[in-house]
Amino acid sequence: MKMTAREIAERLNGDIIGNPDATATSAARIEYGRPGNVCFYANPKYEKYVYTTNASILLVNRTFKPRQEVKATMIVVDDAYAAVAEMLNYIASLRKSNRRSSFLGRLFTRCRISGKVGRGTYVGTFSVIEKGAKVGRNCQIYPQVYIGPDVTIGDNVIIYPNVSIYHDCQVGDRCILHSGCVIGADGFGFAPLEDGTYKKIQQTGNVVIEDDVEVGANTTIDRAAMGSTVVRRGVKLDNLIQIAHNVEVGANTVMAAQTGIAGSAHIGEHCVFGGKSGLGGHITVAPNTTFAAQTVMANSVKEGGKTYMGYPALEYMHFMRAYAKFKQSGATPAAPKPAPTQEDKN
């Protein structure tokens, strides 16, 4: 897969400074750029690499004014961050197209399909699609995927190897489910008995994932006890996330790795969760709320647009003031007492 600077510039509506016939076959970070790479520069702290990189092509903002000679062919764009995202999507689409061609020759080979599969969808080796399941058009079902009875999957969905989707769950259009994720396992519901044991509470609901959702590797979304666990459109979940039963995740919310959401929590739109953050059960979070890494919120958030830190969670400025006091109180610890002498012991 080879791209010229001219092709990239046309796709990104950029202007070329240098050789329009310069070619690249892959993308790389600017500090590791080598011949054949396309890189980008947007953060000022990386400016030194603009002049030392060996990359063939470099995406830069229109506001950038070089202070030295730049060896790479530059493509000047309005927003280098947005441009590199578009370029990476283009590279990925080319690679997926190549993989798709290789899969077509093995369509429905050594797999078991009892449900319905739409036109243009391919199914990898040893995958299972159970009775009553419906898979839309132009989907990519990789090897060893399990799709349970009466599951509904939309169009243009990508499901990577070893994904399990339990019965009755729904996945919308253009979703991406990465390897090892589990959709629709039982929620954690057990009733304590007098003898100290626990009786399992059957989880009779399902999981509904709306359009344009991406679920990371080994992330789990549990089915509802009753009704549905719902992940709204545009949500992006990182790897190793736990979404418990009857949770609702609002549209365009993003969560970093190892976030945990307890049962029946309701999260508004456009929320942000840092890594290892979490919510207690049965609470509500207002839209546009941000939780820093390792923040744990046990109470409902009624007013949106705020950032929280710590455990128990505090608003950002309150946390920073409390932390400053904490540091101040421990800055001058009491001097240790001298060891007792023999005279003291006598």
Q: Is-catalytic flag, 270?
A: no
User: Which is nearest to 180 in space by CA: 208, 143, 135?
Assistant: 143
Of the residues 167, 245, 270, 282, which is catalytic?
Answer: 245
Peptide bond into 312 cis (omega under 30): yes
Let me know: does 149 contact 161? Beta carbons within 8 Å: no
Q: CA-to-CA distance for 214 and 236, rounded, in angstroms?
A: 5
212: left (phi over 0), alpha (psi -120 to 50) or beta: left
Q: Which amino acid is at 56?
A: S
**What CA–CA distances, in Å, run from 275 to 229, 309, 310?**
22, 12, 12
Q: CA-to-CA distance for 292 and 297, rounded, in angstroms?
A: 11
Residue 207 burial class via C-beta count within 10 angstroms: exposed 0-12, middle 13-18, buried 19 and up:
buried
Active site residues: 245
